[in-house]
Structures are given as C-alpha cells and as structure tokens.
Amino acid sequence: MTAVFYAVAVLALLTTGLAITRANPVHALLYFVVSLVFMGVIFFTLGAPFAAALEVIVYAGAIMVLFLFVIMMLALDKSNFQRERGWISRPIWLIPALLVAALGLELARLFAPGGSQAAARIISPQEVGLRLFTDYVGAVELASMMLLAGLVGAFHLGRKDP
Amino acid sequence: MTQPIPWQMPAALALALFLLGLLGLLARKNLVFVLMSIEIMLNAAGLMFISAGMRWDNPDGQIMLIFVFNLAGAELALGLILLLRLRGRVTSLDSDAANLLRDAP
C-alpha cells in the first residue's frame, strides 16, 4: 500500500495549503480537519493503527471541533447567514466532494482483501499501552498535571469580568 | 507493493507540513490562523515521531504522539479562551490589534 501513502501525502499537503490560504476561518478549519483525517491514514500506512485512531478521534474529532465551535462563537453576524444561504447553491461543493471521494477510494483500497501494510511491522496498541504505563508512567503524570494546569487556566480566564 | 516505505518519505512530508505551518504563522495576521498554523506545526512534529517510530520499529513514537496531543489540547484550550477574551476588548482579531497591552487611548 505504498501508493496509498504517496497519494494521501499529496492530498494532506494540498489540504494544508488550502487551509492556510483561505479567507474564511471556518473553511480553513474544515480543510484542516480533512488534512488531519488524511494524516490518520498516513499513520495507518506507517504501521501505527493506534496513533491513526487517536488522530481521528482526539485531534480531528475533539480538539478541532472545539476550535470550530469557538470560531463560530466569535463571528456571528446577520450578514454571515445571508452569505451562507448564497453559498449553498454555488458549485463550492466541488473541491470538498473530490477530497472526500479520494479519501473514500484510499480507504476502500486499504481495507480491500489482500491489502497489506507498507510498513515493515505493525506496532499494535497493546505494545504502546504496555510501554506507556510502565516505562513512561512519570511522563503520564506530568501530562496529567499539564492538562490540569490548562483546565484551571481556561476556567480562570473564562470567568466573567467582576 | 510489499516493500516498506523508506522512512525519509514521511520525514520529508513532516518537514513540508512544518514549513507550511511556519509560513502560515508568519504570513497570516488573523489570530485564528496563527493558532491553526501552530496546530499544523505540532501535527507535523507528531508525524515526525511516528516516522521515527517506524524507522526504529519502536512504540515510543506513538507514545510521544500521545504527549503531543496532550500538549496541543492544553495549548489550544488556553489559546482559544484568550482569543475569546481578546474579542471582547478589540474589534478585529488581527495580531497587532492588541499590541498596546492596554485599552486604546
């Protein structure tokens, strides 16, 4: 499945390039989410299925959706809704539809019978978890402290002004 | 079809994505795009970890990726809440809109 890797690499570069050049933040974020899904496919072809699942579920599914919700909270105008209505009829669906079709084709080829890994060896989630909670248990504690600091900071900054 | 991908290829992809993120960080003025470019760069670093884990056939790359995700989540939560607070004070989200560190005279 080396061909899948190269195709998805090109698509990831393309969508990232589109993401940093869009004028509308929501469009840019959505292109970036698509690029993260492509990145998940890349991790899968590199023999890291656990990282691929994390990339799609945690990064694209949780972190980027949080980002998207905040963007949508930032700019809510009447004019935005007017423009939105105009966009539905325009052929703006073309590039996203092509990207989704490309991803679907790649996934179909990956999961087709006989589709093998391009990596030398698949590193299973079991190995990752075993190493994470034995050798790296101190780093897990540090990461939990960092997340707690982020939570406390966001809670503190998010209060209303007195 | 069965030979593995040379590890230089994902590393080159990570480099290209990192440079794209850096370009976005330097070229865009809107703080939303600055945050998104930082996310692109973090993601490229994660891809570098994964390709190194593939190169040395080691699960440590995926463990480092989990820590990169932790970092990205914490950083993005704080960055976004700062962005929301800034939005209440200044009208635009350009990165030079708040360069006075106080309310405009």
Q: What is the pLDDT of residues B66-78, one digit of tens each?
A: 999 999 999 999 9
Beta carbons of B50 and A19 less than 8 Å apart = no
Q: Is residue B16 over pLDDT 80?
A: yes
Query: What share of chain B has pLDDT > 70, as a percent?
Result: 88
Tally Cβ neighbours within 10 Å of residue A42. 26
Answer yes or no: is the ipTM higher than 0.95: no
Could you read off the pLDDT of A34-56 as tens digits, one per residue? 999 999 999 988 888 899 999 99
A53 touches B at CB < 8 Å: no
CB A54 within 8 A of CB A37: no
Mutate to test the interface with A, among B1, B2, B5 (most CBs of A within 10 A): B5
Contact criterion met (CB below 8 Å) for A12 and A31: no
Which residue, among B46, B74, B93, has the nearest Cα to A150 in the 3D structure? B74
Q: What is the mean pLDDT of chain B?
A: 84
- What's the pLDDT at A100? 78
> Which band of pLDDT confidence, cut at 50, 70 and 90, is reported for residue B48?
very high
Judged by CB atoms closer than 8 Å, whether chains meet at A48 and B24 is answered as no
Q: Which of A13, A48, A157 sits opposite B50 (nearest CB)?
A: A48
Distance CA A48, CA A142 (A): 24
Instruction: Tell which wins on pLDDT, B6 or A80.
Output: B6
Question: What is the structure's pLDDT at A81?
Answer: 60
Does the predicted TM-score (pTM) go above 0.80? Answer: yes
Cβ distance of A158 and B84 shorter than 8 Å: yes
Of A5, A150, A154, the CB nearest to B5: A5
A161: left (phi over 0), alpha (psi -120 to 50) or beta: beta
Interface of A with B in 105-134 (CB under 8 A): 116, 118-121, 123, 127-128, 130-132
CB contact under 8 A, B76 and A67: yes
Q: Note the pLDDT of residue A39.
A: 93
User: Average of pLDDT values for A53-79?
Assistant: 82
**Percent helix, strand and coil across chain A, each rounded to 5?**
80, 0, 20
**Percentage of residues in chain A having pLDDT higher than 90:** 30
B45 pLDDT more than 90: yes
pLDDT band per the 50, 70, 90 thresholds, residue A102:
confident
- How many pairs of residues across A and B have Cβ atoms under 8 Å apart? 167
Determine the pLDDT at residue A71: 82
- For residue A74, what pLDDT band results from cuts at 50, 70 and 90? confident
Band of the pLDDT at A114, cuts 50, 70, 90?
low
pLDDT above 70 covers what percent of chain A? Answer: 82
Answer whether residue B1 shows pLDDT above 50: no
Structure tokens at A69: 């919700």
Token digits of residue B92: 């635009």
